[in-house]
Structure 1
């Protein structure tokens, strides 16, 4: 572990490689698990504000879930998260013709319907952050459904922190990421 500003960062995001392999996993992270995507407080407001713009990009099942449960829900851990369709996939998930799960929020963003890409927790994955009173932890979340992403990352020699560069900058800023690159360079000597 090392510290950058008010973050405590695991070396695992430097030491491990990762590149999403949607061809292999079919977006399983959006449909597996027992909870929705973690949301920051400000993201709950964004989801409410953009819902009507995103709605045309969603499946009927997702729309019904959101209209029944709301644009976000409080999870068992007391934190905000996206609602799930029948306790399974994220209500914002859509499926490509080949069955690959994709993010309806990101589709709306890509089509210019919104200015917000998706929850930062999804953008950061496989990095997970947790806010504490004095600091934020930045850790690697290893999940067997991402084994093919680890293999592809190793083959392409892409460390996790480089794979999620855009998301880390979105979360912590350019200066923070520049410090991370310096630490990574020293760490891998």
Structure 2
């Protein structure tokens, strides 16, 4: 682990390459899994606030799921997550363009309808965070559906942490990211 401020960063974020390749995977990470995307507690209020403006970008099935279950749920492990269609697969906020998943929240953001891009866990993926009382840990979540992203990242020579510069900066700030870059070079 590499310590950057109050965050422990797993070396895999520096040693492994990754660049999303949506033409290959079609964004299947938004429709597969056993729960919705993890949420920070403060994000539940944001979801409630942006939902009316995001709704027009959503599918009928996603809207139905939100109307029945709410803008977020507590999963089987007791964690806050985005709502899913049919309980545990497709995120309710998923929409489709040319057979590729897109985030309805992000589409609303891109069109200037909301000022929040999407849940930070979605923006950070394949990085997952674990919060402890004194520090936070960032680790690389390997999932077979991201094989093409690993291959593409290797072809381009882009480490995980560099691919995710924008969301890491969004969560921790520019100074923190600069410290991470220095630590990665020293590693």
Q: TM-score, normalised by structure 1?
A: 0.97
Question: How far did 1:75 drift?
Answer: 1.1
Per-residue CA deviation, residues 125-183 of structure 1 (Å, 9 max, x unaligned), is 11111111111001100101000000000000111001000100111111111110001
Count of residue correspondences: 186
1:90 aligns with 2:91: yes
CA distance in 2: counterparts of 1:114 and 1:150, whole angstroms: 32
Q: For residue 27 of structure 2, what is the aligned residue in structure 1?
A: 27
In 1, Cα distance between the equivalents of 2:79 and 2:141? 18
How do 1:59-138 residues align onto structure 2 when only pairs under 5 Å count?
Answer: 59-86=59-86, 87-96=88-97, 98-138=98-138
Partner of 2:48: 48
Distance 2:17 2:31 in 1: 23
Is residue 57 of structure 1 aligned with residue 57 of structure 2? yes
The answer to whether 1:149 aligns with 2:149 is: yes
User: What SS is found at the alignment partner of 2:68?
Assistant: helix
Q: What secondary structure is seen at the aligned counterpart in 2 of 1:102?
A: strand
Distance 2:50 2:171 in 1: 20
The Cα offsets for residues 76-103 of structure 1, whole Å up to 9 and x where unpaired, read as 111110011012200000011x311111
Report the secondary structure of 2:56's partner residue. Answer: helix
* Cα distance in 2 for residues equivalent to 1:15 and 1:46: 34
Following superposition, which runs of at least 4 residues in structure 1 exceed 2 angstroms of deviation? none
Please report the TM-score for the alignment, with normalisation by the length of structure 2: 0.98
Question: What stretches of structure 1 of length at least 5 have no aligned partner?
Answer: none
Q: CA RMSD in A?
A: 0.7
